[in-house]
Copies of this chain bind each other. A is one copy, B any other.
Amino acid sequence: MTKAAVQVSNHRRIATVETALPPGSTPKGARGRILNAALRLFADRGYGGTSVRDICAEAKAQATTLYAHYPSKEHVLAEIIQLAHDDHHRRLRDALMTAQPDPREQLVALVRAHVLSHCEYSMLAVVATAELHALSEAMAMPILSLRAQSERLLVDVIERGIKQGVFAVPDTYLALRAIGGMGLRVSYWFSPDCGRTPEQVAEVFSEYARRIVGVMPKG
């Protein structure tokens, strides 16, 4: 029998409340507290549903302190999303570079890194995907180009797998969307209480990704 599914039925956008910014990426002092507070509130209520006063109250700072570190509320969101995409892209590249040159191994490495990132920093992932539209086009542009690079990594692996005859995919673009999409959604439902560790989710999802591209199950 499979494991029981523990799913709390609340209407929160995100299941977990634990992790926030990656430790190395947190500025110290009030700026770091503001960044973390904004991340928590943006993840929970969305950018439009969070006021500057809310952020500073959560950060135990004065309402005007935010403007000592950021020119505007939008710049806070921009820094969070940029940071999220930087970290995500770095993990994908690291995974790809330490993997065996076999496309099957590279696919597993990419999906593992993708899923782990969305488990461990789910708030970051939710804000990065769900609140990007709140950014002006000028501020969203560099982030979109980085996102396109990340997608390119997966597309390249799929296309090489097809060329080598180890993958059988009816539509490369739709495989990208399917694999990417099921990983993106992880950040919404995953929590430490869901009965699975991030590693277990990554393991199972990378197996699902192998199946999507037509690689036969290992066992």
Contact = CB atoms under 8 A, between A and B. Distances in A.
Contact of A211 (B155, B182, B211): B211
A11 B144 contact: yes
Given A169-B2, A181-B184, A214-B217, A205 B174 contact: yes
In which size bucket is the chain A interface? Answer: 35 or more
A5 interface: yes
A143 to B, nearest CB: 8
A66 B128 CA distance: 33
A5 B148 contact: no
Contacts of A3: 171-173
Given A46-B133, A208-B178, A214-B211, A171 B2 contact: yes
Contacts of A144: 9-11
A130 B49 CA distance: 13
Interface stretch (A55-63, A91-99, A134-142): A134-142
Contacts of A172: 2-3, 5
Nearest to A129: B188
B173 A2 contact: yes
A201 B185 contact: no
B170 A207 contact: yes
A67 interface: no
Interface of A: 2-3, 5, 9-13, 44-49, 130, 132-135, 137, 140-141, 144-145, 148, 155, 162, 168-186, 189, 195-196, 200-201, 204-205, 207-208, 211-212, 214, 217
